[in-house]
Structure 1
Amino acid sequence: METRVTDWVVERLRAAGCVFAEEEAGLLRTRAAEGADLEELVRLRAAGRPLEHVVGWAEFCGLRMAVGEGAFVPRRRTEFLVSEAVAVARPGAVVLDLCCGVGALGAAVAAAVPGAELHAADIDPVALEYARVNVAPYGGRVHEGDLYGALPAGLRGRVSLLVANAPYVPTGSLGLLPAEAREYEPRTALDGGPDGLDVQRRLAAGAPDWLAPGGHLLIETSGRQSPSTASAMTAAGLAVRAVSSEEWGATVVVGTRAVD
C-alpha cells in the first residue's frame, strides 16, 4: 500500500484557510533557506499576517520589491497603471511616484523607461525604508513629507510622469477590506476620506505646478469613483481620459498638462 507523505507546512496553511497553500509553502521554504526559521514563518502566516510581510518581498511587474511589517503591499492590479505610464513615457523621463509606499510603482516604471530620473515621496517613514531599497537600482531619490510638500523645489515644472496609487477607500468602507489589509497595513495607505477621494483631489489640484508641459498625471481609482477623479483633474486644468482593464480589474485616470 502506498503511504501518503504529509507536508506539514501545506497542511498548516490549509487549516488556516490559505487558498494557495502549496505555492505559499514553497515561498516560505525559500525564505527559510535564506536563514529564517520555518516554524516561525508558518506560524506568522497561519495567524493571518500577509505572505509578503512574512517573506519580506512582493512580486510586482516581474520585479522583487522589498516589503515588510507596517507597510502597504503592492497590488497586482496596479501593474495596469505601470503599463499605462510606460506607454506614454519617453527615454529620460522625470518620474515622480507620490504616495509611493514602498516605491514599487515608481521603481517598475523606471525599470521600463531608459534613463528615467526617479523620485518617490510618502508621509510614512516605515514605508520609505523599503522604498529606498526598491528605488536604489534605478538611482531613485526618496523624499519624506506630505504630497508636494516633500519635494525639492528643483522638480517644479519638470515632471514628465506623476504616478500615484493614493488611498481611495472611503472611510466607511474600511471595515469591508480583507483582514490582512485592515490589521497589518497602515490606515494612511488605505483611507481616502468620506468618499475616498480626499487625497486624489489634492494630487490633482497641485499637479499642474509640478508637471512639465505635456506631462502626465496617472492615478489609480475605482470604476465607480473615476468620474469624480476625472472631474478633479479637469478642475485643475488638465486634459483627461480614463482607461480600464477587465483583465486587471483596474481603472486609471490620466490627466495631461497642455503644452505651453
Structure 2
Amino acid sequence: MLPVLPVPLKGPRMPPSVRPDVDRPAYADAVARLRAAGCVFAEEEADLLVAAAATPAELDALVVRRASGLPLEHVLGWAEFAGLRVAVDPGVFVPRRRTEALVREAAALAAPGAVVVDLCCGSGALGAALTTALGRAELHAADIDPAAVACARRNVGPLGGHVHEGDLYAALPAALRGRTDVLLANVPYVPSGEVALLPAEARDHEARVALDGGADGLDVLRRVTADAPRWLAPGGLLLFETSERQVPAAVAAVTDAGLAPRVVTDEELYATVVVGERADA
C-alpha cells in the first residue's frame, strides 16, 4: 500500500498503462467490477486502486473490498483533502471535499503561528490542512472517538500537533483557555431522523457520533458555541460547516454565545461556513 502522510500530493498518479506489473485486462476487469457494484467513477477509482496495489492479487483484494461497499478512502487508507494525502482508518469519518471551504476561509483569516484547535477532529484533516496552509501553528485536535484519535495522531503528529481524547472542550489542556486564535469545529449536523437517509458508505462505515447531530442536527453545535468564548482569544474565530437550511438556527447559536456571526458560502463546493468572532478586547 502507498504510505499515508500529511504532506502535499506531488504530481499525478501513475496510470495503469505505464505500470508493467498490471496488465490492461486486469485493469479493465477492475473497472467492470467496480461499475457493476455501482461506483459512478469506476475508471478513476480503478486508477487509484491500481496505484495502491503492489501485486495483481492485492489489486483483486482491494477491488473486492470496494465492491462490497467500503468507502474508497477506507480501502485505500487515505483521502485527498485540500491538497494533502490524509490517513483515514476504518470507521473514521472521511473528510469531505466541501469542507475545504472551511479550511480556505480559516487560512485567509489566520496568521502564521496561530493557536489552532480542531474539535470533532476525526482524522485531523482540517487542522493538518490549516497548519500546512499557514506554514506553522500551535495545533491541538480533539475527538471523543478513540479510533479517530489514533488516526488523527498519524496526521497531526508529524506537524508537531497534539491530539486529545475526550468530549469537546473537556479533552483540551486548560492552558488553551482564552488563547485559541482559530477554533475549527466540524461538528456532526445531520438530524437524527435523517441519518438513515445518508448514503450507505457513510451510514454503515463511519462512526454515528461523527454524523448524528441530534433532533435538529445542531445539538453538538450549540454546545460548541456556548463555550467557545471561554476558549477563544480576543479576536479569535470559531468556524464550522452547516447546511443551508440550518443557517438561521446556527447563526442564532453564535449570536447567543456573544460572538459576531458571518456566513460564507461556496457555490462550487456547495458549502456553507459560519464564522463567529470574539470581538471583545
TM norm. shorter chain > 0.5: yes
CA distance in structure 1 between the partners assigned to 2:216 and 2:161 by the alignment = 33
The alpha carbon displacement at 1:136 in A equals 1.9
CA distance in structure 1 between the partners assigned to 2:272 and 2:189 by the alignment = 12
Aligned letter for 1:133?
R
CA distance in structure 2 between the partners assigned to 1:165 and 1:240 by the alignment = 17
Instruction: Output the aligned Cα RMSD.
Output: 1.4
> What residue number does 2:54 align with?
33
Gaps of 5+ in 2: 1-23
Choose the corresponding residue for 2:78, options 57, 61, 64: 57
CA distance in structure 2 between the partners assigned to 1:35 and 1:190 by the alignment = 36
The alpha carbon displacement at 1:236 in A equals 0.6
CA distance in structure 2 between the partners assigned to 1:195 and 1:213 by the alignment = 31
3-state SS of 1:191 partner? coil
> What residue number does 1:108 align with?
129
> What residue number does 1:191 align with?
212
The alpha carbon displacement at 1:5 in A equals 5.3
> What residue number does 1:99 align with?
120
> What residue number does 1:122 align with?
143
Aligned letter for 1:140?
G
Choose the corresponding residue for 2:109, options 85, 88, 92: 88
Q: 1:175 to 1:116 in 2, by over 3 A?
A: same
CA distance in structure 2 between the partners assigned to 1:204 and 1:101 by the alignment = 19
Aligned letter for 1:246?
E
> What residue number does 2:236 align with?
215
CA distance in structure 1 between the partners assigned to 2:42 and 2:126 by the alignment = 27
Larger mean CA deviation between 136-145 and 185-194 belongs to: 136-145
Aligned letter for 1:75?
R
Runs of 4+ in 1 over 3 A off after TM superposition: none
Q: Deviation per CA, 1:136-195, whole angstroms, max 9, x where unpaired?
A: 232110000000000111111010000111000000111110010111011000000000
CA distance in structure 1 between the partners assigned to 2:84 and 2:248 by the alignment = 32
> What residue number does 1:253 align with?
274
The alpha carbon displacement at 1:68 in A equals 2.0
3-state SS of 1:101 partner? coil
Choose the corresponding residue for 2:152, options 131, 140, 155: 131
Identity of aligned residues (%): 67
Q: Deviation per CA, 1:101-129, whole angstroms, max 9, x where unpaired?
A: 01001110000113211000000010111
Q: 1:181 to 1:36 in 2, by over 3 A?
A: farther
Aligned letter for 1:174?
V
Structure 1 length normalisation: TM-score?
Answer: 0.96
